[in-house]
Each structure stands twice: as structure tokens, then as C-alpha cells.
């Protein structure tokens, strides 16, 4: 791992993920977590203030020691127990059926084998356990998709492997989840970077939900989403 990836990128990531627009997505999805929670891609701990009193324990997983160091600094104000897992999401070091909720926010874009990470999430969830997600990914508009695919190779090198062209609901369904609530739409910002998938899924295989059929009145609908 080079100097940029180890020392510069974690700080840039922490700064970039503090925007008020991103905070609105955290406010919508993180408070739904309950019981024993695994957060995949915990990063610098920016989700911590949004967890509710129904959380008993949090497993904060990230492969970056620098980002987890930032999370540790923010844990002092948290009431529940937090355990740190310095690991790759493709191999979660937890037993089968050991957590009630898995949370991913702005994470699935950058995991090399995202489907494998989601299968690991399904493995550690109790039957019927809940996957919560707020992720950016592939837009439905052909012209935006074209730019997403053009930009992704260069953007990925700058942004720690982040890709702009992943269809998040399809990834989740492929891993064996049933999507039970989903809203998709553009957040504020440049369209190639801002198409959001926000919702929840259960750890049982079933048909996936088509994001294009979700009503804008859905409780997970992104703020000011332009469809």
C-alpha cells in the first residue's frame, strides 16, 4: 500500500463523507439498525452518532487501519459496546448467524468482490436478519451510464477503488437477499456520482425489487430526489 492510499486517501475520504447531503442519507438508514450490528466499511466512524438505543453491540469492520483509528477517537461518546475488525469485507471474522443487522453506507462501490462481501453479510446474519444500505451506483439514464463507465477507471484509482457503475440492488439480490424496501434517485451533485440506492433487505432468497418501480413516497426516498 502506497503513501497516498495509507495516509492521504483516509483523510480525504473522511472529509468527503462529512457533507450535509450524505448526512441526510445516514439519518434515514442508520437509526433502523438494531441488536448486534455489523457495519461493513465503517470508515472513520461517521455513522456512529446516528445509531439508536436499540443497538446492543457494533462490530466496526474496515480494512484501513487509519480510518479505524479515526473511528476509535469517536467511540468515546457512544453508549454501546464497539468491537473493531481490521479485515477485508470478503472474509468477515464472525460466526454464522451472529448478528441481527448489517449496515453498508457508501461502501459497496469500492469492495473488489462486492457480491462475496454481501454473501458474507448474509452468512453472519440471523435468519430474517436485516441488511440496511445507502449506496451510490449505476443510474437508469443511458447518457449518465455512459459517463459513469468512462469515468470509473480513473475515478477508481483516485478514490480507493470506488466504481460509479454498479447496480446495487442487483448485487444485493445476487447475494441471496430479498429487497423489502428500496428507493433510488439522484442526490444533489453531479449525476455520474450521485445516483443513490437506499433501503433494506432480508437474508432470504427471493425475487428482487425493481428500483424503477419504487414510489417517490417510499419512506426511504432520498431527499429532493430527481427521478
Residue at 143 is within a domain = yes
State the CATH number of the domain containing residue 140: 3.40.50.150
Residue at 221 is within a domain = no
Tens digit of pLDDT for each residue in 32-76?
A: 999 999 999 999 999 999 999 999 999 999 999 999 999 999 998
Tens digit of pLDDT for each residue in 2-34?
A: 788 777 998 999 999 999 999 999 999 999 999
Residue at 227 is within a domain = no
Residue at 225 is within a domain = no
Confidence of residue 1 (pLDDT cuts 50, 70, 90): low
Residue at 85 is within a domain = yes
Q: Over the chain, what is the mean pLDDT?
A: 89
Domain count, the chain: 1
Q: Which domain holds residue 191?
A: 3-213
Tens digit of pLDDT for each residue in 198-207?
A: 999 998 644 3
Residue at 218 is within a domain = no
Residue at 28 is within a domain = yes
**Buried b or exposed e, range 143-181, using 16+ CB within 10 angstroms:** ebbebbeebbeebbeebbebbbbbbbbbbbbebbbbbee
Residue at 226 is within a domain = no
Tens digit of pLDDT for each residue in 181-199?
A: 999 999 999 999 999 999 9
Per-residue model confidence (pLDDT) at position 5: 79
First-to-last C-alpha distance (Å) of the chain: 39
Amino acid at each position: 500500500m502506497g503513501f497516498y492510499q495509507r495516509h492521504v486517501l483516509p483523510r480525504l475520504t473522511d472529509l468527503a463523507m462529512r457533507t450535509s447531503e450524505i448526512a441526510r442519507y445516514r439519518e434515514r438508514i442508520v437509526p433502523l439498525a438494531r441488536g448486534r450490528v455489523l457495519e461493513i466499511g465503517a470508515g472513520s466512524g461517521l455513522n456512529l452518532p446516528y445509531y439508536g438505543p436499540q443497538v446492543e453491540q457494533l462490530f466496526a469492520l474496515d480494512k484501513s487501519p487509519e480510518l479505524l483509528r479515526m473511528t476509535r477517537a469517536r467511540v468515546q461518546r457512544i453508549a454501546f459496546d464497539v468491537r473493531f475488525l481490521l479485515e477485508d469485507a470478503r472474509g468477515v471474522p464472525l460466526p454464522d448467524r451472529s448478528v441481527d443487522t448489517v449496515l453498508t453506507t457508501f461502501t459497496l462501490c469500492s469492495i473488489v468482490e462486492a457480491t462475496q462481501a454481501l454473501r458474507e453479510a448474509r452468512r453472519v446474519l440471523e435468519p430474517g436478519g436485516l441488511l440496511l444500505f445507502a449506496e451510490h451506483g449505476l443510474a437508469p439514464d443511458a447518457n449518465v451510464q455512459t459517463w459513469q463507465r468512462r469515468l470509473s477507471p480513473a475515478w477508481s484509482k483516485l478514490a480507493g477503488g470506488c466504481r460509479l457503475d454498479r447496480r446495487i440492488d442487483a448485487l444485493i439480490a445476487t447475494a441471496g437477499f430479498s429487497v423489502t424496501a428500496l428507493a433510488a434517485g439522484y442526490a444533489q451533485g453531479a449525476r455520474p456520482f450521485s445516483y443513490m440506492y437506499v433501503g433494506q433487505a432480508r437474508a432470504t432468497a427471493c425475487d428482487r425489487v425493481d428500483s424503477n418501480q419504487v414510489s417517490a413516497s417510499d419512506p426511504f426516498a432520498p431527499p429532493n430526489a430527481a427521478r
